[in-house]
Amino acid sequence: MCTRICLCVLCGLPAAGKSTLAQAVNSHSVQRGWRSAVISYDDLIPGDAFNVKEVEDEEDIPRSQTQTEWKCHRQVVLRCVEQFLQSPTEQLPPIIYQINRDARSRLLHAAQVCGTPAGSSPFCGTPAGSSQVCGTPVGSSQVCGTPEGSSQAYPSPSDRPPPPLVILLDDNFYYPSMRYEVYQLARKHSVGFCQVYVHCPVESCVRRNQLRPQPLPSDVIVEMAKRMEPPNPQRNSWEQNSVTLDSEHHFTIEYIQRLVKVISTALENPLSPVQDNAEQKEADRQSCVSSVVHQADQACRRLVSQAMQEAREHQLPPERMRSLAADFNESKTRFLQDLRRQVLHGLPLTQGEGVEVERVVSRAVDVFNREKQEIIARYLPPYDRIK
């Protein structure tokens, strides 16, 4: 008899209260007889993976090495969760990032709670080749609290389902595509899926963040608030099982109960690995958006590289070069974020409609080129401006 499992995504701004909520749900799970594990991305991903380097040349502008490393760490966490779903007791192969072992140890600890001994499969609740269940000594005929020698008829321990397992993924998850990866994982392995958006005004998040031992820069939170795309069940069918909780004040028992209800729904309704048309269209939409943004990013890189080369040829002072590079970097980042939203919201939803990616990219790059001209005009004399 298999364990019911739920992958629960906790999303929201830094310092919104996600970790506090996760701890509360963790405690409440114990009361309900559930097993639970909190996978906190902040704890697992090294802090330096979030640093953004100052850039001033083509190789650096599109995507800093630290941003790439951050994405790799996120993928490793998800890979760890998937390996656990596939084979809970299998040893992990050596890998460059240590975080997967840390995350896996938390999952295994959760799976071993409520009487599942180490080395056993949490999906069955009984160690391989052993009759030990719920702390009953090996070789004993005692059944989970039934007095030895008693003939009282109780269901066999092997007939009782093992406790449900709730895996709480605690991260910002500000883009739907980030959350969709977890949804795909849940669907692939036929487990439950739900989302919790922890809403908190950005001003409150900034204030709470300053009280932390190692606060993030305030502008990081402000910028993330601009990118944040909360769950939208009306637009995305796969986000139906979602709930929004306001964390500006303390979490109440009613909030916890609402979240538990969403988790219970996910546990009772595991996803099917078979895609329906709506889900396939959503996957196609996400793929199309990625293609447009990627091609636009490459074209913008070339434009910026040309502009930086022109500025060097006109012997712009180093401090001005750094300032110009920073302006280009900020402009391109903002442009690609806006492009992503516009393309995602503007893609056709009806079957059979196509998207001319090259035309969309060309029009978008024309917009960025005009913005580039405005930036360069602030640094070079009119007769030296780049055409």
CA distance to 18, 28, 169, 207, per residue, from 248 (Å): 12, 21, 21, 11
What pLDDT was estimated at residue 307? 87
- Spatial neighbors of 318 by CB under 8 A, at least 6 apart, are none
Query: Token pair for residue 261?
Result: 């209800």
Residue found by looking up tokens 């406790």 in the block: 163
CA distance to 116, 160, 275, 322, per residue, from 143 (Å): 15, 12, 42, 72
* Secondary structure element (H or E) that encloses residue 225, with its range: helix 218-227
What pLDDT was estimated at residue 91? 54
What pLDDT was estimated at residue 314? 83
What pLDDT was estimated at residue 344? 67
Q: What type of residue sits at position 269? A: N
Number of C-beta neighbours around residue 192 at 10 A: 25
What pLDDT was estimated at residue 313? 86
What pLDDT was estimated at residue 127? 33
- Spatial neighbors of 27 by CB under 8 A, at least 6 apart, are none
Burial 279-297, CB ≥16 within 10 A → b, else e: bebbeebbebbeebbebbb
What pLDDT was estimated at residue 15? 93
User: Where on the phi/psi map is residue 315: left (φ > 0), alpha (ψ -120 to 50), or beta?
Assistant: left
Q: Outline where DSSP puts E strands in the chain.
A: 5-11, 35-40, 165-170, 192-199, 242-246
Indicate if the alpha-carbon torsion angle 166, 172, 173, 174 is positive or negative: positive
Dmax (CA) for the chain in angstroms is 100
pLDDT in tens, the chain (387 residues): 578 899 999 999 999 999 899 888 888 888 888 988 888 887 777 665 554 443 333 333 344 444 456 677 788 888 888 888 887 655 544 444 455 566 667 666 666 554 343 334 444 333 333 333 333 333 333 333 334 444 444 445 556 778 899 999 999 999 898 999 999 999 999 999 999 999 999 999 999 999 999 898 999 999 899 889 999 998 888 999 999 999 877 788 888 889 999 999 999 999 988 655 666 666 667 777 777 888 888 888 888 888 888 888 888 888 888 888 888 888 888 888 888 877 766 654 333 344 567 777 888 888 888 888 888 888 886 645 444
Q: What is the DSSP pairing of strand 35-40 with strand 192-199?
A: unpaired
Helix (H, G, I), strand (E, B) or coil at 7: strand
Contact 10, 21 (CB under 8 A): yes
What pLDDT was estimated at residue 244? 94
CA dist 320 and 337 (Å) reads: 26
Query: Token pair for residue 186?
Result: 């849940």
What pLDDT was estimated at residue 121? 40
What pLDDT was estimated at residue 143? 31
